[in-house]
Structures are given as C-alpha cells and as structure tokens.
Structure 1
Amino acid sequence: MTKTDKLLLQLYKQYRHELTSPVILPSVIKATSSSSSSNKSRFGFALQLHCLALKSGSNSYPIVSNALISMYAKFSCIPSVTKLFDTMLLRDVVSWNSILNSHILHAHFSKAFALLQRMSYSHYFPPNPQLTASFISVCARLRYFSFAKSLHALLIVADHNPECQQEHHNPSASVFLSTSLVHFYFTCHDSSMAFRVFDRMEIKNEVSWTAMVSGCAANLDDHAAFHCVRAMQTHGFEPNRVTLLSMLPASARGYVRYGKEIHGYAFRRGLHSDHHFSASLIDMYCKSRSGIALARHIFDASEVKDVVMWSSIIWTYARNGAGFEAIRLFMQMPEEGITPNFVTLLALITACTSLTSLKHGSRVHAYIIKRGFYSHTCIGNALIDMYSKCGFLVDSDRIFREMSSKDSVSWSSLIGGYGLHGYGWKALSLFHEMQDKELQPDAITLLSVLSACRHAGLVEEGQKIFEIAKKDSKLLKIEHYACYIDLLGKSGKTEAALDVLRTLPMKPSPRIWSSLMTACKIDGRLEIAEMLANQLITSEPLNAANYTLVSTVYAESGNWGGVEEVRRLMRTQGMSKCCGVSRIAVGT
C-alpha cells in the first residue's frame, strides 16, 4: 500500500460521514485493496464500504460497482464478484473488463469465455486489447486452443460489425493483441494462420517480429525463421537478445554458418558477456562436430560458469566421441564448487557409453545412487543403454526391473540391448511383455525389435511384426524399411526385399541401396547389384565407404573398368578407403 493510499484511508476514517459520495467512494475502495497482502482487518473494512455503498445508494453508479468488483477480485472472492456483476442495473465497458479480468486471473476460463460470449451481443464488445491478449496468452500456455480460436472468431465478427462500440484502437489491428495471436497460433502449430495474422497487422514492432522468428524456430521451420530475421532488418528493426536466443536452436539444426553470423553480431552488440547467451552458443556449437573448439573457447572465456554451462560443454565432448575429455571436465566440477545435476550425469553416462567403458560407467552409476538421482527415468534408461553396449545385459535387466517408472525408451533400450548381442528371442519376449501390459510401442521400440530380429536372423517373426506395423502408416519411417530390407536381404530373401523397395512409399535412403546391393551380390545377382551401386553413389556421393562397397561389386562381376572408374572418382574427390578400428579395455 502506497503512502497516498494510507493517507487517503486515514482522511476517510476521520470524515467518513461526510465522504459518502459516488465520486469519493471508488478511490477509497481502490486504496483498501491496493496492497498485495489481504488481511482480515482490511477485508472487514472493505465489507463496510460495500454496506455503506448499499445504504447510501452509491452502488447504483457503475463507477462504484466497478471498484467493488475489482476489490473483491483482489481479495479472491469470485462468487461475490459474480453476484455483484449480475445485480448491476447499469454496466459499462469497465464493468465487463473487470469481471473478465477477475475470472482470467483466477483461472476460471470457462466462465470467462461464457462472459465473452455474452459480451459479444452487447455494444461493449470487444474488451480492451490488453485484456483480450492476456486471455489468449493464458489459453496458449494452458493449451485451451478452442477457447482462443473462438475468441478470435468473435473478434473478426466484431471488426465487421459497425454497431460495435470501439473505444480503443481496432483490436484485430492492435500490435499487442495481434502479437499474442501470432504467439498463440505458433503454440498450436498453425504456422499458416500465424503468418496470416502477422501479414494483416497494420503496425509491426520489434516484439511482433521476434514472435514470428521464435515461433518459426520453435516449429522447426528454420528457413522461415532466418527469412523473418532478414525481413525484420529490412524493415528497420534490429534483432534483440530474445530474437538471437530463439535463432540459436535453429542454427544448430544444420545452419551453423548462420549461427556463427549470430555469434559475431552478438559480439559486436556486447552480448558475448551475457551468461545465458554464452550457454546457448555452447549448446549450438556442441551439436556440430566442427564447432567443438569454438564451444570450448566460449566456455573457457566465460567468467561465470554455472551447472548449465558445465553440462553443455560435457555434452559437447560426449556427443562427439571425446568421452575421456568429458569425464575429465566432470571431475573438475567439484573443484569449481559446482554440483552436477541429472543433465550433467546424463552427459557423463553418454560419454561412458561412447567409450564402452564399464570401469568409468560403474563409477558413475555408484555416484548416481549416492547422490539420489536414481529415481529419474531418463537416468535409468541411459544406464540400461550403457550396460547393454558394454555387454553386461544382466545389469541392464536388473536396472530395468528395479525402475519404479518405465517409459517406451526403457523398453526400447533393453530390447535393443538384447538384440545387439544376438538374443533375438529374449528381445521378442520383452516386446510381447510390453504389449501384454497394454503399452503402445512407438517408432523407436519397433526399430529396436526389428533390429533384434535382423541380428538373430528371425525372419518370420520380423515379417509378422512389420506387417502388423504397416497397418499404422504413421509408425513406419524410412529407418524401419531399411532395417526390414536388410533383414530380408541377409536371410537370402532378395526378391522379397526388392518387392519392398518397389512398394516403398517414400524416397529410398542410402542404407536401403547399400543393403539391397549387398544382398544381390551375395545372391549372385550382379547385374542388379551394379544398378543399385549407381543409385548408392548418387544418393550419398561423399561417403568413402560406399565407393569401397561398389568397387567390390564391380570386382566380383569382373567389371575391372568399373573398379578403376570408382578409384578415379575417389582420387578426384580426395577420398581414401577407411580402415576399421577396434579397441579393448585392459584390466576391467
């Protein structure tokens, strides 16, 4: 409560019998409810003011009733708010806005929308743009999409109704309201509608442009996001910190060159010292193998390093095959006074998995138990994967059985682990156990069980699972077809594999061409293998392993001219045959 409000209440209490006019009462009522803390004494005084308004007849004035509505709303007495509004003889636009604001603030969205519908039949519709925008933002946050869309429809109708009273600027053209609509439509993944609202805005500002950029990036439309940034600058608006932060995830998805431009732009604007921005830059660079050195440079140059930044740099090394450096950085964290969180530990488990190091993995497991992170489902899933890839399936199974909460990733990890080591029947048993528990397998689970059938040579079982999955067209991706074709090819069913290729509902991947070519080579169908070889080179021209595989096909068919041509192409592009590497851990 401000000093002015306190003084006003003191004066009123001294001269209360003389100050009962409808001009003074609203100010006193407002002062009573101005404090953020609602105590019983002030609420009692508020009730006295309401009684005084009733006794003096001041409640018949909308200005007094509106003040009472706001007062009861601040004291969270919503039934009193509703009753007071319903008994008002005269209502104005402030009355409607007050009752709507009360319901929105207290999350009574059904009642708020019912009031909006009632209001739409009056000449006071629509409410002020700030209130409407607030309602739409809340709907977006709580995913009440139908409410917000219905409100937008009412606003459009009101715009074309000449009888509607428009005390404020046209709300559909209001920057504040339109920006909320843009954000809402991106939230419900309706990008085309977001663009329509944005294009019809008479006035655009920095916030509305940023909403477009962040919305496109959040919906993975990276090309549109970068186009919006360029258009934003063309229209005289410079990207701000929020705009740049929203662009960094898009840059990490294959647009690292643009990410470097954003980095340079931010450096020139002095944002390089911004802690949050630095952490986002590290995250962007960590997703690009060529950006590891830059990510480390930003990390080392940062004056303040919190657990988020440490986790990001550890993820950088874990994802890019530098597991030992990730472990070394983790061991530095206690020295810097930083306590790892479960994200850090996930990165560390990933590092141990990439190294297939049981020695380090078991130590991390012990640390997780000691620190109480064992209850996290994602931690359990990562441990299952780590032990499986290290060949310790008994430990993977034990962790799986001990988990209090399992998701589809838990099942997929264990199924994939058994499949990887050739235990196809055990993987199938787990898959059927999952189905018996009425858990719906997702695309990853399906790929895990098909891979298990492929490793174990369980052709008939794999065919049954694939045919059942085909009934759900949304479940099957190109990876499933590639795995299934490889299963058929390795089992000598080359013609069946070619039939799958002929009916493939999507563009074949390099892995499909490679699997079929190998199958045809083994089956002695060298003419078809040579045709597939050309498709493989065309689909993935920069992969040296493909050229090596094609060369062996040509050699087996006696096409030495083809072999020489493949070698010439490799020399022209500066490629050489990749040597295989294996590694064992000593003393574990």
Structure 2
Amino acid sequence: IISCINDVFNIDTCDEAHSKVFVITKIRLSELTVSSWHPYGTRDRRIPPFLLDKMPSNFLSKIFKIQAIINKTLMKCKDIDNAMHLFSSITKKSNYMYTIVFKGLITNNVAEKVLDLFDEMKIEPNQFTLTVLFNACAVLNNNRAMKIGKELLAKMPENYRNDNITSTSAINMLMKFGDVESAERIFQSIKAKDIITYGAMVKGYVGNEMFEKALDLFEQIDIELDDVTYTIIFNVCAKLCNDRAMKIGKKLLAKMPENCRNNNIISTSAIDMLMKFGDVESAERFFRSIKAKGADIHGALMNGYNLNGESWKCFKIFEEMKEKNIIPDEIAWNILIG
C-alpha cells in the first residue's frame, strides 16, 4: 500500500492519482474495505480517510510526499476534509506547507478557512505566504478580511515591498477594499515596476470606477504591454467613450502586435470599443483581419451592430457562423431573438 502511495507525488493528474488509489484498495481489499468508499470512476473521487489513517508515522515525516498528496491528490480533487486532516497531522509546519494549503482552499472557494488557519500559525509568514493571504483577503473582502489584510500589510518587512508579486497582491487587495489611496502608496513605493504591477493598478482603478485615472496611469507605462493590459485599456476606452478615450484606444489598436489579433479576449474588447465609438467600419475591418474567430468575437460584432442601429447585419453574421459550424453563444442568441 505504502509503495503505491509513494508514487502519488510523481503523478500529474487527478485521474492518475485516483487510479493509483483504486489499485491500493484492490491490493488490500479484504483488510481495508469501507462501505462509504466508492472507487475511482463511481460517485466519490476522494482518497478514503482510512488510507490516511493507515500511513505509518515515518511516512508522514516525509514532507515532500505529504505536500504532493495535499496539493495534487486532495486539493485538486476538492477533498478538503482529508487535506485538512493530513495537514493537521504535521507537527512542524513550514511556510511552504501553509502556502500550498492556503492556495488549495482559495481554489476550492473556502477562503474563510485560510484566515482560520492563519490565526493558528505559530510562524511568521514569508513573502510567498503573505501573497496568498493577501489574495484570500481580496477574495473575501469582508470586515474580518480587511482587518487582517491591513494588519499584515502594516507589519510586512520593508524588503518584501520590493517583491513585485507580493506588492501586486497587496495592491489588488487594497483596491478590492476600495482603499485606493493606500494602494497608490504601495505602488509608488515599488522601485522596479513591471507590467503586472501596472496592470493591477489600472484594473483597480477600473474596479473603483476611476476610468480617467486608469488612462492617466496607462500613459505613464513605458514598458511592453501584456494581453491583460490591452484588454483592460480597450474596456476603459469603451466605458469612457470620450474624445481622449477614442484617441488613446485607436492609437493603441494601431500599434498592437499582429499576434494579439488572434487572442479572442483582446479582439472582442477591441471590437466592443470600436462599436461603442460608433466606428462600425473600423470594427468590421478589424473583425475581417482576425484569422481564428470564435463565437465570442462574432457575438461582439453582432452586439455592436445592435448598438449602432444596424441589427439586420446580425443575420448575415449568423449565416457565416452556420457555414463555419460555429455555435452562437448566449449573447448572440439573445441579440438574434431580440
């Protein structure tokens, strides 16, 4: 049994892990059968608790294997109870162990448990653990999360502020709290800003409906943009739809690298922006330049026609979709039915 469990940390997928567990149950079926356990392929995809209980103490001392089981086999398969059971059995918990568990809890939509575990921590969180804690506080965005998140930020060592990942998580958290001024102070304190840091600030301004500030910051960016930034700025320009936004949006679109046109999310945002500007012809030209068009891009064009009083063109696009065997999404169907 243990030799099979030893292999778990070398397994990449949830299905493989549970297949291995199924092998374990077959090896010692007479000894370990539990009526509530359903092998892989039936109802319950979790590791049965009795397998964890059967692990010898010397196995539980092998930290890397425990990390693998928690992360790859339990958290990824949404088996929170067994993950927490195994985690609680570890006497000397490291920051790395906490980080793995915190990430798993957030992924499984139980971020409140992250704060519960944090309250029990006997060690100071390092920058990696802090990053995940800031993420949990941002997800929760309640009074408890705000209190803990701001306390963590106030106590954070000064050298952590130069870790862009940690600082970006702090900015995102503060923006979710609506504390724009504090987020701006953190941003200004970062010496070497990257595009992810800029993106967090721009996204934060958008989330707080401060669209002009988002463009102000965008005009200060002097490094190469990423896909997320293109999408956010196109959305900001579409939202404002004033002379400044039109100028910035069209200029950005003209300079955008060719490969970005095949990113459906960016292209959908660009078409939506042009349609909001009332520039139907430019939206159509951009649409025709895209090589791989999905349902969302067709839907954006149809929605734009609808906004600009050219609804009859939607049916032409619908016919094109049928010819290419593209199934309309919900937005497209609503436009056609409406």
1:412 touches 1:448 (CA, 8 Å); kept in 2?
A: yes
1:282 touches 1:295 (CA, 8 Å); kept in 2?
A: yes
Aligned AA for 1:135? N
The separation in 2 between residues aligned to 1:406 and 1:154, in whole angstroms, is 44
Say yes or no: does 1:325 pair with 2:325: no
Aligned-residue offset at 1:254: 4.4
Q: Give RMSD over aligned pairs.
A: 3.3
TM-score (norm 1): 0.46
Q: Which residue of 1 aligns with 2:191?
A: 303
Q: Which residue of 2 aligns with 1:283?
A: 172
Q: Please, which runs of 5 or more residues in structure 2 have no aligned partner?
A: 32-53
Mapping of residues 260-409 of structure 1, within 5 Å:
261-270=148-157, 271-288=160-177, 290-334=178-222, 338-356=223-241, 357-368=245-256, 373-409=260-296
2:60 touches 2:90 (CA, 8 Å); kept in 1?
A: no
Mapping of residues 139-538 of structure 1, within 5 Å:
139=12, 144-155=13-24, 169=57, 171=59, 174-185=62-73, 188=76, 190-191=77-78, 193-200=79-86, 202-204=89-91, 205-206=93-94, 207-230=96-119, 232-233=120-121, 236-255=122-141, 257=143, 258-259=145-146, 261-270=148-157, 271-288=160-177, 290-334=178-222, 338-356=223-241, 357-368=245-256, 373-441=260-328, 445-450=329-334, 452=335, 461-462=337-338
The separation in 2 between residues aligned to 1:377 and 1:405, in whole angstroms, is 8
2:67 touches 2:100 (CA, 8 Å); kept in 1?
A: yes
2:112 touches 2:140 (CA, 8 Å); kept in 1?
A: no
* Structure with the larger RCO, 1 or 2 (CA within 8 Å, 6+ apart): 2
1:282 touches 1:313 (CA, 8 Å); kept in 2?
A: yes
Which string of whole-angstrom CA distances, capped at 9 and with x for unpartnered residues, describes residues 168-222 of structure 1? 855478543233122124564x32x242243145325234443222101122332
Aligned-residue offset at 1:126: 0.7
Aligned-residue offset at 1:380: 1.8
1:415 touches 1:448 (CA, 8 Å); kept in 2?
A: yes
Q: Secondary structure at the match of 1:332?
A: coil
1:133 touches 1:176 (CA, 8 Å); kept in 2?
A: no
The separation in 2 between residues aligned to 1:238 and 1:358, in whole angstroms, is 49
The separation in 1 between residues aligned to 2:61 and 2:322, in whole angstroms, is 52
Judged with a 3 Å threshold, the aligned counterparts in structure 2 of structure 1 residues 313 and 260 are, in CA distance, closer, same or farther, namely farther
Aligned AA for 1:315? K
Larger-Rg structure:
1
Q: Secondary structure at the match of 2:102?
A: helix
Q: Which residue of 2 aligns with 1:134?
A: 9
The separation in 2 between residues aligned to 1:323 and 1:293, in whole angstroms, is 15
Judged with a 3 Å threshold, the aligned counterparts in structure 2 of structure 1 residues 434 and 291 are, in CA distance, closer, same or farther, namely farther
Judged with a 3 Å threshold, the aligned counterparts in structure 2 of structure 1 residues 355 and 301 are, in CA distance, closer, same or farther, namely same
Q: Please, which runs of 5 or more residues in structure 1 have no aligned partner?
A: 1-119, 454-460, 463-588
1:263 touches 1:281 (CA, 8 Å); kept in 2?
A: no
Judged with a 3 Å threshold, the aligned counterparts in structure 2 of structure 1 residues 295 and 427 are, in CA distance, closer, same or farther, namely farther
Which string of whole-angstrom CA distances, capped at 9 and with x for unpartnered residues, describes residues 13-51 of structure 1? xxxxxxxxxxxxxxxxxxxxxxxxxxxxxxxxxxxxxxx
Mapping of residues 42-53 of structure 1, within 5 Å:
none
The separation in 2 between residues aligned to 1:276 and 1:269, in whole angstroms, is 14
Aligned-residue offset at 1:446: 0.8
Identical amino acids, percent of aligned pairs: 21
Aligned-residue offset at 1:404: 1.2
Aligned AA for 1:340? L
Aligned-residue offset at 1:328: 2.4
Which string of whole-angstrom CA distances, capped at 9 and with x for unpartnered residues, describes residues 452-500 of structure 1? 35xxxxxxx45xxxxxxxxxxxxxxxxxxxxxxxxxxxxxxxxxxxxxx
Judged with a 3 Å threshold, the aligned counterparts in structure 2 of structure 1 residues 222 and 439 are, in CA distance, closer, same or farther, namely farther
